[in-house]
């Protein structure tokens, strides 16, 4: 059994589906997880002291929605690649939406940074991923344009 690009693609699709379901399950556990996190609230540093239960719950639910949209679109992108539809405008749309979701996910974590400074690291990571995906999307758009131009060339 040799590892090849098709198996890698199938593994990626499987991991996206598993993570999609896992996030849905974890969304049901957010109140309990945040309560556990909030039990030792005095030892963490932020501008605002006290309970972070509601701010963190809101932050996690908002970013979970962004994550689910990302995973749904990533699944569609991988299915197109599996069907050998790589340089098509639809894939550019998927990448655009994924990048915007990463950028949007950075906002709640950036705001939550007021309560816990470490949250700024997560916000910066999401922002960084969003920017990288914007670049990849722009490269894909250029490739789509070249592909269409090549298709019309005799």
User: Residue 98 falls within a domain, yes or no?
Assistant: yes
* Domain region containing 64: 9-26+51-152
Shortest CA distance to 54 belongs to which of 73, 76, 37? 37
Average pLDDT value for the chain: 93
pTM of the predicted structure, to 2 decimals: 0.90
pLDDT in tens, 3-49: 898 899 999 999 999 999 999 999 999 999 999 988 876 567 888 88
User: Residue 100 falls within a domain, yes or no?
Assistant: yes
**Mean pLDDT across 122-140:** 97
pLDDT in tens, 53-69: 999 999 999 999 999 99
User: Residue 19 falls within a domain, yes or no?
Assistant: yes
**DSSP label at residue 51:** -
User: Residue 59 falls within a domain, yes or no?
Assistant: yes
Phi, psi of 124 (to 5 degrees): -65, -40
Q: How many domains does the chain have?
A: 1
Question: What CA–CA distance (Å, rounded) separates 126 from 46?
Answer: 20
Which residue in the block uniquely carries the two structure tokens 């816990």?
116
């Amino acid at each position: 059994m040799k590892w090849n690009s098709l198996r890698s693609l199938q593994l990626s699709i499987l991991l996206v589906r598993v993570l999609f379901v896992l996030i849905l399950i974890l969304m049901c556990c957010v109140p309990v997880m945040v309560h556990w996190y909030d039990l030792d609230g005095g030892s963490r540093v932020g501008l605002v002291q006290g309970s972070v239960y509601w701010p963190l719950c809101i932050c996690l639910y908002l970013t979970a929605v962004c994550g689910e949209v990302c995973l749904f679109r990533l699944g569609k992108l991988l299915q197109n690649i599996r069907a050998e539809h790589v340089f098509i405008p639809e894939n550019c749309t998927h990448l655009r939406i994924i990048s915007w979701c990463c950028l949007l996910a950075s906002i709640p974590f950036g705001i939550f940074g007021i309560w816990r400074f470490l949250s700024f690291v997560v916000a910066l990571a999401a922002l960084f991923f969003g920017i990288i995906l914007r670049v990849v999307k722009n490269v894909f758009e250029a490739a789509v344009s070249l592909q269409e131009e090549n298709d019309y060339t005799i």
